[in-house]
Structure 1
Amino acid sequence: MKVEPKSEQELFQRAMEVAGISFKELAQEAKLTVPPNLKKDKGWVGQLIEWHLGAPAGSKAEQDFKHLGIELKTIPISYTGKPLETTFVCVAPLMGIQGLTWETSHVCNKLSRVLWVPVEGEREIPLADRRVGTPLMWTPSEEENAQLKADWEELMEMIVLGHVEKITAHHGQILQLRPKAAHSRVLTEAYGVSGKPIMTLPRGFYLRTQFTSSILEKHFF
């Protein structure tokens, strides 16, 4: 594990240094084994990049580089540079959320400053041969922040009113709420319509691919 970077410039420089390098080479340096695929190792790529950038392991409720106020997000992209999947932001709180505001939310904190690290994600490229792309440092614009806030408030209002089970992937323009559990036996408490707790699947906040695609396009094309 590399030591934590002391500044945003140092962190970005490290991200630039791994650009163009294959997962196989990066894994060898980190003494990690490349899995045959990501079916059982969904977080492997992120862990590999974290090791090289010096991200401290710890609670994911806070930013990856808390001392710098920066979140790290790896993003698998296609041959044309388009994101191949939605981006997980954080687990959604389903209880004890009265008084929570956008400004004090985990989503707002996580997305206030993001180091995006694109990685090759096409299935036919063997995992070991996939390479890391050029990184970019991002802060939401006023317009992006306003839209994120509006989506978050819409989704949180539905949770508070006991409508968590009515939320679908169609809710939210750029931020969506989806089940986040390894399997359907994992349940957590949430508000029911009557105000009494019900058991439901944990939920997570995700950024739609159209939104992450627009971030990459603004910076790279």
Structure 2
Amino acid sequence: MVRNSAPQSIDDLMQRCHHIAGKSLGQIAQEVGCRVPADLLRNKGWVGQLLESYLGADAGNQAEPDFISLGIELKTLPLNAHGEPKESTYVCTVSLSEYEALTWQESWVKRKLSHVLWLPVEAESSIPLAERYIGAGWLWQPDQIEEEILKADWEELMDRLALGEQSELTAREGQYLQVRPKAAHSRILAKSSDISGETILMNPRGFYLRTTFTKRLLAKACI
């Protein structure tokens, strides 16, 4: 897969977004010399990787926003047949070492969500992967109310995690932000700590944005 050079400005990035809006994943894959997999069962991150390559995301595995010099994070938004978000949006991994070390301002969640390029993509399972279309991307930064709610969610969830309540924490907690297992299957385990401070093994957790929240963002972008 050929990776394009990083965009030099926000205008450059948005021009690339305009170019792919209305095109299929198959067309974009052809442009970057990439084979389209039969499905996403064993290639879950393929759509994101394809779009990162075309748009020139340059962070790789670094702890930086996807477009480092622009400070912009790329998030794909899979849509169902009704044009609504199909699933919650992964933000970042929950790190055991961060439970007591960070404030919201220093958190990786805030950094990831400070400036986001959203790219909606058809994700209805009845549509072959290569024929799924990409929608019009838009830039988003949380307004004051959105950030206050995200901050409150993060602080409450981190407090629960710091108290060793990982096993009691469910995806029902949090208004916009939730914590969920992020492993591909239940056999993947990571070190954590329980309420007594003892080290235990459990499924890795991640922060996710609820579909109710991303649905609101999509509606605002379409106004």
State the Cα distance separating 1:89 from its structure 2 match.
0.4
Secondary structure, aligned partner of 1:67: helix
1:180 equivalent in alignment to 2:182: yes
Q: Distance in 2 between matches of 1:52 and 1:59?
A: 17
Aligned residue among 19, 41, 52 for 1:50: 52
State the Cα distance separating 1:96 from its structure 2 match.
4.8
How big is each residue's C-alpha offset from its partner over 1:166-199, in whole Å with a ceiling of 9 and x where there is no partner? 0001010110000111222221121211122221
Counterpart in the other structure of 2:39: 37
1:202 equivalent in alignment to 2:204: yes
Name stretches of at least 5 consecutive residues in structure 2 with no aligned partner. none
Question: What is the RMSD of the two structures over their aligned residues, measured on CA atoms?
Answer: 1.2
How big is each residue's C-alpha offset from its partner over 1:35-73, in whole Å with a ceiling of 9 and x where there is no partner? 111111110100111111011152253210121110000
Counterpart in the other structure of 2:155: 153
Secondary structure, aligned partner of 1:64: coil
Aligned residue among 99, 102, 124 for 1:100: 102
Task: State the TM-score, normalizing by the size of structure 2.
Answer: 0.95
Secondary structure, aligned partner of 1:56: coil
Counterpart residue type for residue 204 of structure 1: G
Q: Distance in 1 between matches of 2:211 and 2:189?
A: 27
Counterpart residue type for residue 102 of structure 1: W
Counterpart in the other structure of 1:193: 195
Q: Distance in 1 between matches of 2:62 and 2:17?
A: 20
Equivalent positions of 1:56-75 (< 5 A) are: 56-59=58-61, 61-75=63-77
Q: Distance in 1 between matches of 2:88 and 2:98?
A: 27
Equivalent positions of 1:121-160 (< 5 A) are: 121-160=123-162
Counterpart in the other structure of 2:119: 117
State the Cα distance separating 1:24 from its structure 2 match.
1.0
Q: Is the 8 A contact 2:171 2:180 kept in 1?
A: yes
Choose 111-120 or 29-38, whichever is displaced more. 29-38
Task: State the TM-score, normalizing by the size of structure 1.
Answer: 0.96
State the Cα distance separating 1:12 from its structure 2 match.
1.1
Q: Identity of paired residues, percent?
A: 50
Name stretches of at least 5 consecutive residues in structure 1 with no aligned partner. none
Q: Structure 1 18/145 Cα, relative in aligned 2: closer, same or farther at 3 Å?
A: same
Counterpart in the other structure of 1:79: 81
1:20 equivalent in alignment to 2:22: yes
How big is each residue's C-alpha offset from its partner over 1:86-140, in whole Å with a ceiling of 9 and x where there is no partner? 1000001123532311111110000000000001111111111111100010000
